[in-house]
Amino acid sequence: MADGNHSEPPTVLVLRRSPTIALLEPIVSQKFNLLKAWDSPLPQDQFLTTHARSVQALLSSVGGLPITAQILHLLPSLKFIATTSAGIDHVDSAECRRRGVAIANAAKAFAEDAADMAVGLFIDVMRKLSASDRYVGDGLWATRGNYPLGSKIGGKKVGIVGLGNIGLEVAKRLESFGCSVLYNSRSEKPSLSYQFYSNVCELATDSNALIICCALTEQTHHMINREVLSALGREGVIINVGRGAIIDENEMVEYLVRGEIGGAGLDVFENEPDVPKELYALDNVVLSPHQAVATHEAIVALGEVVTGNLEAFFSNKPLLSPAVIN
């Protein structure tokens, strides 16, 4: 699988210096020689062709370049991709499977941080924290009086879409608030007492809020559509810390503008960093710039997972967090 020569640090290709890669660089470069495509004056294709025979491992992030079939074709010696995210929708996983390229993801490195953000967004929307902060900051408390009532968290039925590492952490937090947890996932988890729904629309019908924690795949793209939003209803709230395209964003914006769902807390969007401008003026919507896992602690944990996976690959040992390739 990998070269056994350890006289020099193994080389790992990085195509683009995304914000996450920039934060990880000091950690990963302690043990690996990072081959930085952005430092080369050569056009990308020419750069990749130049290093085609030597590159066995690649470090990739969501904010970097997507790993397409074309890129994989230019890297015939590539055997391993380490990603900095839980999801691998930025990698052509079918082509990786065809070429025998293994993929490792971030696993549990930032599950707690993403769950904190999901629950934080839920509380913010329900209790109107950001909106009431603006109300006070704009001097409206003194002139208009008390702000409209919010909604209690405890007792709410919350549907979690995707009960993986992040979803499970969300569920644990919601239980401590006295919420009833319902869920939809690829398969039922019999060891858990939460109620399972194989149909997201039925989950939405029975939930006061939906929290999206699943990966973006062909199956989950626009899974939250008009039918699901209608089932969620006028009082229902939607929170998304997964990927923007899991929700049909145009439909959601319409429903929010018309008051046909109760509110939204969104950390991810379909065409980042572009956010639908209609959302800016809505007091029942809380927006975050894809920051769910952006903590100092998460970057340290992520650095350990990425480094550990790369060390495992170059030592011919099992990966710490092999990604499930559909």
Q: Distances in Å between the alpha carbon of 261 and those of 1, 170, 185, 202, 254?
A: 52, 22, 23, 16, 10
The answer to whether 275 and 287 are in contact (CB under 8 A) is yes
The catalytic position among 227, 235, 272, 297 is 272
For the chain, give the percent of residues with pLDDT over 90.
Answer: 94
pLDDT digits (tens, 9 = 90+) for 24-51: 999 999 999 999 999 999 999 999 999 9
DSSP assignment of 139-151, as one string?
THHHHH-SPPP--
Q: What is the pLDDT of residue 233?
A: 98
pLDDT at 325: 77
Mean pLDDT for 124-144 is 97
Q: What pLDDT does 64 receive? A: 81
Residue 251 has pLDDT above 90, yes or no: yes
Beta carbons of 89 and 63 less than 8 angstroms apart: no
Residue among 169, 173, 270, 290 flagged as catalytic? 290
* Choice among 243, 249, 251, 270 that is catalytic: 243
Spatial separation of the C-alpha atoms in residues 315 and 4, rounded to whole Å: 7
pLDDT at position 5 over 70: no
> Looking at residue 63, what is its pLDDT?
79
243 in active site = yes
Note the pLDDT of residue 212: 98
* pLDDT above 70 coverage of the chain, percent: 98
Residue 1: predicted pLDDT: 52
- DSSP 8-state code for residue 277: G
Check if the beta carbon of residue 219 is closer than 8 Å to that of residue 191: no
Give 11's strand partners: 33
**Which token pair is 123?**
């509380």
Task: Give residue 229's pLDDT.
Answer: 98
- The question of whether 95 is a catalytic residue gets the answer no
In the chain, what are the domains? 11-109+296-314 (3.40.50.720), 111-287 (3.40.50.720)
Beta-carbon contacts of residue 100 (< 8 Å; ≥ 6 apart): 79
- Interatomic CA distance for residues 148 and 139, integer angstroms: 15
